[in-house]
């Protein structure tokens, strides 16, 4: 390779590696846990084959799969409420442990209805995790970096899912019980990560007039009520890649191995390009990028209708995969920006529910259009709906940006008020308070009679009380300022050993 090409490749690799740099540890912990969890995403893709080994076929299979789909609608709604009510971390633990238990229940279920109940529990409990995790990232990451945080989360999903596809086929050949064991084990391992590595953030106070913990806060947000359906249409079009693409490949007379190859093409493109692309597109207006990516997905899905062989299907997959890379993390970040701090879980729950409806629609409406009116009706509908939703999203750009700025200012003001209220100075052996003075975290001030205050461990204490005068502690009294505490004018300092010293308005007097 020529030196110039080598230099360019090194630069590209560095850019890909650094695209997620600077994100807080909580995001990387969630990324690692997500990869672990998705590596075990094995039962659902192979569920139809497992049911066949238990003698469940035809209409009975529909009952179990329908229950699985219903759980995908219930889980996000429940998870959003719990995340705001009891906290992000407890909600994630409930979902992960509950889903692991439900995996075992499905494996030992004796009949169709018990299998359907277990399938409902698997999806409902499993889907409670995402709203809590997304809300936790919104708590930890500033708005400028949220898209990268959510893109990293999605990247972890794709990495784990790609490996799970290969792993699942190998394990299924050696016994379906291995699928259940690895799936449940990965969930429990993720739960251990959550329990040991994540801390619950401080709860944002509910504003005056807030009337409960339900989804009224989302439904009263007119912008969210318009934006979520537009995102839902885009997600519906994308979900057709999981539902209609296999039908098209089958009807073209190609083997199931071709669908597996197309899934591999998608996985390779997303895993390879997403880090590289995210850092470059993060500089552009989010909803413009979202609209462009959604248009690519719509065009790619529609191209499926023109494909006649492996090459044609590969072209369509490449196009919509590029669209998937472009939109990575944007929708979740926009929803997080619209959400008030006290309702982030419910906003992400509403977004997750929108995802569930989109996938359910692809399974029902999408298949009905394909089989009832013909493939052409589905592909044209997908193209029209996808482009229209992308255009509608673009029209909302200014309103979304303005709402996000208002929420950011409100959150910053709320943080400032919380800091002002919680600023307390404590004393060990004598409390010293200076008018307007700041105590540096961890600094300890030691004073001897008539001597200046000197700061230990490299920190220094500055006192602004009265014309730049320095704090003076009498008769060996010592002052210890709690980390981060701000001293307020008019507060009183008490020295237990040498008497009371009062500092008010810059004057020092002995009591």
Residue 305 lies in a domain: yes
- Do 444 and 497 belong together in one domain? yes
Residue 207 lies in a domain: no
- Do 79 and 179 belong together in one domain? yes
What local confidence, expressed as pLDDT, does residue 475 receive? Answer: 32
What local confidence, expressed as pLDDT, does residue 103 receive? Answer: 93
Structure-derived torsion over alpha carbons of residues 190, 194, 198, 201, reported in degrees to the nearest 10: 130
- Do 291 and 398 belong together in one domain? yes
Write the CATH number for 145.
1.20.1250.20
Q: Return phi, psi of residue 205, to 5°.
A: -70, 145
Q: Which residue range is the domain that position 511 belongs to? A: 424-511
Closest by Cα among 65, 123, 137, 64 to 95: 123
β-strands 444-446, 454-455: how paired?
antiparallel
Residue 185 lies in a domain: yes
**Domain C-terminal end among 168, 201, 234:** 201
Residue 255 lies in a domain: yes
Closest by Cα among 102, 147, 78 to 293: 147
Tell me the torsion sign for CA atoms 229, 235, 237, 243.
negative
> Two tokens at 234?
């885009």
Q: Residue 462 pairs with which residues in a beta bridge?
A: 438
Write the CATH number for 400.
1.20.1250
- Do 288 and 336 belong together in one domain? yes
Query: What letter does residue 343 receive in the DSSP assignment?
Result: G
> Two tokens at 135?
């809300």
Please identify which residue in the block is written with the tokens 């633990």.
93
- Do 313 and 188 belong together in one domain? no
- Do 407 and 457 belong together in one domain? no
CA distance 213 to 224: 17
For 126-175, the DSSP string reads HTTHHHHHHHHHHHHS-HHHHHHHHHHHHHHHHHHHHHHHHHHHHHHHT-
Closest by Cα among 465, 307, 311, 425 to 376: 307
Show pLDDT as tens, one digit a residue, over the chain (511 residues): 444 444 443 444 444 445 677 888 999 999 999 999 888 888 887 887 888 888 887 778 888 888 888 888 899 999 999 999 999 999 999 999 999 999 999 999 998 899 999 999 999 999 999 999 999 999 988 888 888 888 888 888 888 877 887 788 788 888 889 999 999 999 999 999 999 999 888 776 666 555 567 888 899 999 999 999 999 999 999 988 887 888 888 888 887 778 878 888 888 898 888 888 887 887 888 899 999 999 999 999 999 988 888 899 999 999 999 999 999 889 999 999 999 888 899 999 999 999 889 988 888 888 888 888 888 999 999 999 999 999 999 999 889 888 888 877 766 655 555 445 445 444 443 443 334 344 333 333 333 333 333 333 333 333 323 333 333 233 333 333 333 333 333 343 333 333 333 333 333 333 2
Count Cβ neighbours within 10 Å for each residue of 228-256 and write b for 16 or more, e otherwise. Answer: bebbbbbbbbbbbbebbbebbbeeeebee
CA distance 270 to 158: 7
CA distance 335 to 400: 9
Question: Do the Cβ atoms of 313 and 45 come closer than 8 Å?
Answer: no
Q: Return phi, psi of residue 480, to 5°.
A: -120, 125
Residue 367 lies in a domain: no
Residue 11 lies in a domain: no
- Do 265 and 337 belong together in one domain? yes
Question: Do the Cβ atoms of 383 and 300 come closer than 8 Å?
Answer: no
> Two tokens at 109?
């279920």
CA distance 474 to 68: 73
How many structural domains compose the chain?
A: 3
- Do 128 and 184 belong together in one domain? yes
Closest by Cα among 483, 355, 473, 349 to 422: 483
Question: Do the Cβ atoms of 54 and 172 come closer than 8 Å?
Answer: no
Question: Do the Cβ atoms of 171 and 42 come closer than 8 Å?
Answer: yes
Residue 218 lies in a domain: no
Contacts of residue 274, Cβ cutoff 8 Å, sequence gap at least 6: 151, 154, 155, 158, 325, 328
Closest by Cα among 158, 204, 154, 153 to 345: 204
Question: Do the Cβ atoms of 393 and 234 come closer than 8 Å?
Answer: yes
CA distance 333 to 156: 16
Question: What residue ranges in 308-390 does DSSP mark as E strands?
Answer: none
Residue 31 lies in a domain: yes
Question: What residue ranges in 387-471 does DSSP mark as E strands?
Answer: 444-446, 454-455
What local confidence, expressed as pLDDT, does residue 120 receive? Answer: 93
**Domain C-terminal end among 406, 422, 438:** 422
- Do 392 and 482 belong together in one domain? no
Q: Residues for the chain: how many in total?
A: 511
- Do 168 and 234 belong together in one domain? no
**Domain C-terminal end among 422, 451, 480:** 422
What local confidence, expressed as pLDDT, does residue 56 receive? Answer: 83
For 28-43, the DSSP string reads HHHHHHHHHHHHT--T
What local confidence, expressed as pLDDT, does residue 393 receive? Answer: 92
- Do 264 and 146 belong together in one domain? no
- Do 167 and 51 belong together in one domain? yes
Closest by Cα among 101, 85, 92, 156 to 128: 92
Q: How far is CA 18 from CA 11, 242, 251, 457, in A?
A: 10, 31, 44, 35
């Amino acid at each position: 390779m020529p030196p110039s090409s080598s230099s360019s490749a090194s630069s590209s690799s560095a850019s890909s590696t650094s695209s997620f740099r600077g994100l807080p540890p909580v995001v990387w912990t969630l990324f690692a846990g997500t990869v672990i969890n998705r590596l075990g995403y094995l039962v659902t893709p192979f569920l139809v084959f497992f049911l066949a080994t238990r003698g469940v076929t035809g209409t009975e299979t529909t009952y179990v799969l329908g229950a699985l789909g219903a759980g995908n609608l219930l889980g996000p709604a429940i998870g959003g409420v719990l995340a705001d009510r009891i906290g992000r971390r407890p909600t994630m633990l409930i979902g992960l442990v509950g889903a692991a238990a439900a995996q075992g229940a499905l494996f030992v279920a004796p009949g169709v209805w018990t299998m359907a109940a277990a399938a409902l529990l698997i999806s409902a409990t499993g889907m409670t995790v995402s709203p809590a995790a997304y809300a936790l990232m919104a708590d930890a990451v500033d708005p400028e970096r949220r898209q990268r945080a959510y893109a990293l989360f999605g990247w972890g999903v794709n990495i784990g899912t790609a490996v799970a596809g290969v792993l699942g086929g190998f394990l299924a050949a050696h016994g379906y019980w291995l699928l259940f064991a690895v799936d449940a084990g990965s969930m429990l391992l993720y739960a251990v990560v959550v329990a040991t590595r994540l801390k619950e953030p401080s709860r944002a106070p509910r504003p005056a007039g807030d009337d409960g913990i339900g989804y009224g806060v989302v439904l009263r947000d007119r912008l969210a009520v318009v934006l979520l359906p537009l995102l839902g249409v885009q997600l519906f079009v994308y979900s057709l890649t999981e539902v209609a693409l296999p039908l098209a490949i089958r009807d073209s007379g190609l083997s199931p191995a071709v669908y597996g190859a197309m899934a591999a093409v998608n996985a390779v493109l997303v895993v390879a390009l997403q880090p590289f692309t995210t850092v470059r597109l993060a500089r552009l207006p989010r909803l413009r990028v979202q609209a462009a990516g959604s248009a690519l997905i719509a065009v790619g899905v529609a191209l499926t209708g023109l494909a006649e062989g492996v090459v044609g299907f590969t072209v369509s997959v490449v196009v919509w995969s590029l669209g998937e890379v472009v939109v990575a993390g944007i929708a979740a970040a926009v929803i997080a920006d619209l959400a008030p701090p006290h309702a982030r879980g419910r906003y992400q729950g509403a977004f997750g529910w929108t995802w569930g409806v989109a996938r359910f629609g692809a399974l029902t409406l999408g298949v009905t259009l394909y089989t009832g009116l013909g493939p052409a009706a589905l592909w044209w509908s997908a193209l029209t709906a996808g482009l229209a939703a992308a255009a509608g999203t673009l029209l909302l750009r200014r309103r979304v940006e303005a709402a996000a700025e208002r929420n950011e200012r409100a959150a910053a003001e709320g943080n400032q008020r919380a800091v002002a209220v919680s600023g307390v100075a404590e004393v060990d052996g004598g409390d010293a308070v200076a008018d307007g003075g700041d105590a540096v975290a961890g600094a300890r001030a030691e004073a001897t009679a008539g001597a200046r205050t000197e700061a230990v461990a490299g920190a220094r204490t500055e006192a602004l009380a009265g014309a730049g005068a320095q704090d003076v502690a009498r008769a060996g009294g010592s002052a210890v300022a709690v980390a981060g505490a701000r001293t307020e004018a008019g507060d009183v300092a008490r020295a237990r050993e040498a008497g009371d010293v009062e500092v008010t308005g810059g004057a020092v007097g002995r009591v």
